[in-house]
Amino acid sequence: MSSRCRDAVVRAGGALALAMALGCNAAPELRVCADPQNLPYSSADERGFENRIAELVAHDLGRTLRYHWQPQWRGYTRKTLLAGLCDVIPGIPAAAPDVLATDAYYRSAYAFVYAAARLPGLTSFDDPRLRRSRIGVQVVGIDAIATPAGQALARRGIVANVVGFPVMGERPSAARMIDALADGSLDVAIVWSPQPGYFIAQRGLAYAVVPIAAAPGDPSLEFAIAMGVRPGDIALQQALNGALARLRPRIDAVLRDYAVTRVQPESELAGFP
């Protein structure tokens, strides 16, 4: 107990002193902002893989995990982390602006998702079969902004046969895209690769998830993923970096459990050997 807490307890006396002593001895909190309905990442009942990773990190640091739930829509960082409602946002791009990022704990890319019998060997945006295939892509925000993968398709003039799936919706866009593949509405979906494996496994399907390598002139399709803290919170950043390094095997196991497709090798990730 700190001297400040001890002095306050002595002055209080009685039942109030007991309550204050218990509060002084309580573990500090790790306040995490997360979307309550964004599987496979997070959910209000804590079924997502970022929930599991946050729990591991909090336990490693000896902190009590507490969530601030908010849909991950426009202005999310400004409305949550920068407003002081939490101290950590998991699962952000390591190069995200407005935050101080930890070391990355995985790296992923946009991926083709398809039945191997329908489009065997599809690996490239330059495959001519894409021009006659029904393609699903994710679009972001109320303005339906194209993802880097959508931009790569447009750069090749592949637009007439493309269907947009808004990221914001009653169900995750990746789940809706897997449904569309299953009912034949799509031939191929282009999805941020941590997402589809979870929904493919739920439905017991046998779809390929193939990370896409960017060709010269394409936007980057790969991103290292980290946790974000407020700018200047170096102490928390360093504490999280230590936890992520210690927990690497257990984090890898969580990602495997959720069929998260990653880009190898991981040697470019800061803090990872």
228 and 148 fall within a common domain: no
CA distance 23 to 1: 10
Q: What is the pLDDT of residue 236?
A: 98
Answer yes or no: is 71 within a domain.
Answer: yes
Poorest-pLDDT segment among 39-43, 72-76, 78-82, 153-157: 72-76
Whether 230 maps to a domain, the answer reads: yes
146 and 201 in a single domain? The answer is yes
Render pLDDT for 78-118 as a digit per residue (tens, 0 to 9). Answer: 999 999 999 999 999 999 999 999 999 999 999 999 999 99
178 touches 196 (CB < 8 A): yes
Last residue of a domain, one of 174, 189, 211: 211
Measured CA to CA, the distance from residue 261 to residue 192 in angstroms comes to 9
Per-residue confidence (pLDDT) for residue 14, from 0 to 100: 58
Q: Is 90 exposed, middle or buried (0-12, 13-18, 19+ CB in 10 A)?
A: buried
Q: Assess whether 49 and 129 both reside in one domain.
A: no
**Beta strand pairing call for 42-43 and 162-166:** unpaired
Contact yes or no for 167/138 (Cβ under 8 A):
yes
For 173, the domain range is 107-211
How high is the mean pLDDT of the chain? 88
Residues 121 and 195 in one domain: yes
| Residues 143, 197 share a domain | yes
Mean pLDDT, residues 130-150 taken together: 86
Q: Are residues 100 and 228 in the same domain?
A: yes
Do both 85 and 163 map to the same domain?
no
What average pLDDT score do residues 216-235 get?
Answer: 96
Residue 197 inside a domain? The answer is yes
Strand, coil or helix: 59: helix
* Pair (176, 127) in one structural domain: yes
3-state secondary structure 163-193: EEEECCCCCCHHHHHHHHHHCCCCCEEEEEC
Q: Measuring CA to CA, how many Å separate 86 from each of 33, 77, 78, 229?
A: 6, 10, 11, 9
Could you tell me if residue 270 is inside a domain?
no
Same domain flag for 112 and 200: yes
**How confident is the model at residue 142, as a pLDDT?**
60
Instruction: Please name the helix (run of DSSP H) or strand (run of DSSP E) that holds residue 12, with its range, or none.
Output: helix 3-12
Residues 169 and 233 in one domain: no
Q: Which of 84, 89, 88 is nearest to 72 (CA)?
A: 89
Task: Determine, yes or no, domain membership for 267.
Answer: no
pLDDT tens-digit readout, 149-174? 999 999 999 999 999 999 887 889 99
Q: What is the pLDDT of residue 203?
A: 92
250 within domain boundaries: yes
Q: Tell me what percent of the residues of the chain surpass a pLDDT of 70.
A: 85
Average pLDDT score over residue span 133-153: 86
123, amino acid identity = T
Q: What average pLDDT does range 234-251 have in this prediction?
A: 98
Mean of pLDDT values over 200-228: 94
Q: Is the pLDDT of residue 214 over 70?
A: yes
Taking 60 as the threshold, does the pLDDT of residue 259 lie above it? yes
Res 11: pLDDT: 55
**pLDDT score of 35:** 96
Q: Averaged over 227-252, what is the pLDDT?
A: 97
Pairing between strand 162-166 and 135-140? Answer: parallel
The pLDDT of residue 133 is above 90: yes
The reply to whether 34 and 63 lie within a common domain is yes
Give residue 146's pLDDT.
81
**Structural domains of the chain, count:** 2
- Same domain, yes or no, for 176 and 198? yes
Domain assignment present for residue 2? The answer is no
CATH code of the domain containing 71: 3.40.190.10
Q: What angle do CA 104, 109, 114 make, to 5 degrees?
A: 145
Domain-ending residue, one of 157, 181, 211: 211
Residue 219 domain-assigned? no
